[in-house]
Structure 1
Amino acid sequence: MKQDAAGTATMAQATFEQVRAALNNDAKLWQDFLSICRTGGRLAGSDSEAAALALCEAALSDGRHTVHCDPTRYKGWRCNHIALRLADSGELLDAAPLLGAAFTPKEGLVLDVVDLGRGTLEQIHAAGAQLRGKAVLVEHEYPFSSETIHRRRKLAAIQEAGAAAFLIVQKEPGIGPVSGSSGRAGAPGIPSVGISLESARRLLESGEPLSIELHGEDIPDAQTHTLRIELPGQTDETIVLSAHLDGHSLAESALDNATGVAAALALARAYAPIMAHMRRSLTVCLFSAEEWALRGSHEWLQALAPESKARMSMNLNLDSLSGSDNLTVLSSGFPVLGQLAQAAAKRVDVQLGHHVPLMSNSDHANFAAQGIPAMRLIAGFNEPDSDLKYLLTRADTSRLAKEAQLRSATQVAASILWDALTAEDLSHLKHPLPAEAALS
């Protein structure tokens, strides 16, 4: 029977309302979030990560669709010993190694310290030769801001200046050091360590040199898995829904990114029963090794056949969905993509912020690099006082998250997926900004 436009819209809205109702009634959303947090920090290569992979594989198994465990290689690393001390008194400082950091000699290093404050690239270049052979201290910045200077950019500049070690200080009191990736991936580098605010103050007040010992091993052939489920629609044109399940060992990696994984699992449950009515197919990917400079999704995409990537119309990446009531879409230099997301959010009565320039701060960046329109849904963008300031620290536990925020973000993601899966044509999304305009 032929439907007029109004009738078709009514039918579509009713079907979406069924998805929305299924999510509202999905008690497993919050239960999954808490269960993922209970596995621990989920550092790639750890027992905690293995437990989370098993938990999520079981959650994706619905008896009708195969859960694929795609082997994904990355350059791994393991820290066996770290000790940061005041060199003269031997006082131990609270610190955590950055993932993949270069190791010290067995006897360690004793270095004078240069404090560069924020550590802008201009400050680093101005200091020049003063940094050679020193341990250089800079501030960790709120990671989700249009003005952020990423730690790896600071580290690269400091290493190029000839520094002997890199220290990055967490500015929030009472929560210990900050973690994060060095991005070294087995290449030449310098010892790189996160340090607590209190320890940084003690170090600078003491005037003593710094003793640093960092021992471990590089694991060039490390392997993890990408969990993947294929939900066929009416065509093989595909929307990819993604989230990363790995994290850091300091806490539970709750906001970053048990929230995104729990939402992805709930969306798979809500959409699986109706995919036969969707124009496009849905691929759900749970990546690991994201915290290792996005290596997991990079390697997974590199291994795909060109025709598989050509079928991908869009990537919706869910990463850090609680910690603030405000949500933003990062549209990776594809402005029309962000407009689609904003319109979809209005359907569920949410005002969605939009940041257009590419930000290489989660797995969506690897899809965008392949020319696939890709967005990240995130809470707390440009809100440095939000709870997302506690990411990569011991404070990132389930206590930070709010169920209402996670449910709201999941509804926004569901609405974006609805438009992506049902739109007649998505070719207009593939019009990025000029490359020079897409830099963050």
Structure 2
Amino acid sequence: MTTWIAETFTSDAGWNHLRSLVDIGDRMAGHPGEREAMELTRDALSAVGARDARIDEFEIQGWSRGDSVVRAGETDQECIALPRSPAADASGELVDLGYGLPEDFEADLSGKVVMVSSTVPDHYERFIHRREKYYHAVEAGAAAFVFRNHVEGCLPPTGSVGTEASPIGDVPAVGVSKEVGARLARRFEGEEVTVSVDCEASPAESGNVHAELGPDTDEEVLVTSHLDAHDIAEGALDNGAGTAMVVEVARALAAREDELDTRVRFVCFGAEEVGLVGSAHEADRMGDDRQRIKAILNNDGVVDGRTLSFYTHGFDALDDAVEAVSDRFDHPMSTVPEQMPHSDHWPFVQHGVPGYMAASESEGRGRGWGHTFADTIDKLEPRTLREQAILLTELTVELAAEETEVPHRPPEDIAAALEAEDHAEGMKITGDWPY
């Protein structure tokens, strides 16, 4: 019974795969490094015993970064382009909107260069995504968008703009560090500045990696992650760790395959960082077959802290399964029974498919080191990956058990929950509202 636990706690499969992924360097969607990550992940899943490991390719809007700058007074301030920003120069009066809450955009912003923070105040009821702030600025007539990190350390943040209908954004967008943002606000607010973005957009190709274990049942449990990352860093936390976790869980489940009552399919998605493109491709490919999915366990943000945390999207049975595993192992795990429409579970959950977003508890708000140059493997520990792999393996077996029932929900219930939790306005302005 416990042999698999000992093997998982001494396994190097997941950690070695994480090392291989971060050593690629640039895993940006559509870049050669993303393709290398697909092939390494396909081979790793096959090596740990998963069957039919393969890559499903699809076309995407590719984007490559050039040099960017914010010209203010006689100075050039360091910045990086936000992926899928258009290549353009835009000038206007600099307006610092602070946190960039929805009500902050009610000012006259026509022709202005708008700067906002990457976080929200502690008292605010929900997190406001970067793309929501960007499209509020676009709707208000801003000429350019400056995204200021709230984390110290001279770390300009990245993160995509654009929508499914219009993958390239409307106005040039850059990220600046907390320190550069403070300098811009102190010295140049109210003065004309120029945001200059050099980049290239062209057709490209991404792909999803698939493999499976367990019996050949119509119903299936999906264990997922995304394997792409932003080109400015190793992408260790976001989301090399999630893909390494999928490999480690597959290794552990291969040794427990006779315990699985339901097929388990592993999917490591491409092109997540540019709009959940890989998972949307898979959800569209499946169509009505999405109803065969018993549950999704999506790993995005695991290994950051030692305690696992799960968004459960109002599916009570998912909360119950986490509680059962937590009690069985006398190990803390937390659940958040709210909607989280920002990772690869979402193209399925929005249709009423039960899904987790598995992450980990950490201090502070926002992404921390994520989406910056500092997202490197030295921030993570093999111990944490192994501990969490044990719990996530058991959770997958729990979900796959014949006696575990996880009812789907009508999509209109998901829509109502989004409205009640104040996500709807932001999703509508970013073009992500599917109802």
The TM-score with structure 2 as length reference comes to 0.88
Letter in 2 for 1:436: A
Pair 1:302-2:284 in alignment: yes
Q: What residue is the counterpart of 2:429 in the other structure?
A: none
Structure-2 change in CA distance of 1:333 and 1:98 (3 Å): farther
Cα separation, 1, equivalents of 2:50 and 2:24: 27
Q: How many corresponding residue pairs?
A: 413
Distance 1:228 1:44, change over 3 A: same
Contact 2:101 2:120 in 1 (8 A): no
Q: Partner residue of 1:83?
A: 69
Larger radius of gyration: 1
- 1:299-358 deviation digits (Å, cap 9, x = unpaired): 121022523x22211100011112223321101232321221232233233222111121
The structural deviation recorded for 1:186 is 2.9
Match of 2:30 among 29, 41, 45: 45
Matches within 5 A, 1:15-54: 17-54=2-39
Give the counterpart letter for 1:414 in structure 2.
T
Within the candidate set 167, 173, 177, 1:192 is matched to 173
CA shift for structure 1 position 64: 7.0
% identical equivalent positions: 28
SS of the residue aligned with 2:268? strand
Q: Do structure 1's residue 314 and structure 2's residue 295 form an aligned pair?
A: yes
Q: 1:136 maps to what in 2? A: 114
Tell me, in whole angstroms, the C-alpha distance in 1 between the residues paired with 2:170 and 2:301.
29
Q: Which amino acid in 2 is paired with 1:189? A: D
- Contact 1:332/1:365 (<8 A) preserved: no
> 337, 357, 371: which one pairs with 1:376?
357
CA distance in 1, matches of 2:59, 2:338: 29
The answer to whether the 8 A contact 1:36-1:258 is kept is yes
| Contact preservation (8 Å) 2:50, 2:250 | no
Residue in 1 that maps onto 2:143? 164
SS of 2:353 mapped into structure 1 = coil
Letter in 2 for 1:166: F
- Residue 379 of structure 2 is matched in structure 1 by 400
The aligned counterpart of 2:193 is: 210
**Aligned partners of 1:72 and 1:300 also within 8 Å:** no
Give the match's secondary structure for 2:56.
strand
Shift of the alpha carbon at 1:430? 4.5
**Is this contact kept in 2: 1:139–1:171, CA < 8 A?**
yes
Correspondence list, 1:208-247, <5 A: 208-219=191-202, 221-233=203-215, 235-247=217-229
Cα RMSD of the aligned pairs, angstroms, is 2.4
- Distance (whole Å) between structure 2 residues aligned to residue 250 and residue 187 of structure 1: 19
| Greater mean deviation of Cα atoms: 263-272 or 185-194 | 185-194
Counterpart amino acid of residue 228 in structure 2: D
Q: TM-score normalized by structure 1?
A: 0.87
Letter of the 1:252 counterpart: E
Aligned 8 A contact 1:24 1:407 in 2: yes
Q: 2:78 aligns with which of 64, 70, 94?
A: 94
SS at match of 2:306: coil
| SS of residue matched to 1:269 | helix
* Partner SS, residue 225 of structure 2: strand
Q: 1:337 to 1:283 in 2, by over 3 A?
A: same
Pick closer, same or farther for the CA change 1:364–1:167 going to 2, 3 Å. same
User: Aligned to 1:419, which of 361, 378, 398?
Assistant: 398
Q: Provide the C-alpha distance between the structure 1 equivalents of 2:220 and 2:33, rounded to a whole number of angstroms.
A: 31
Contact 1:137 1:167 in 2 (8 A): yes
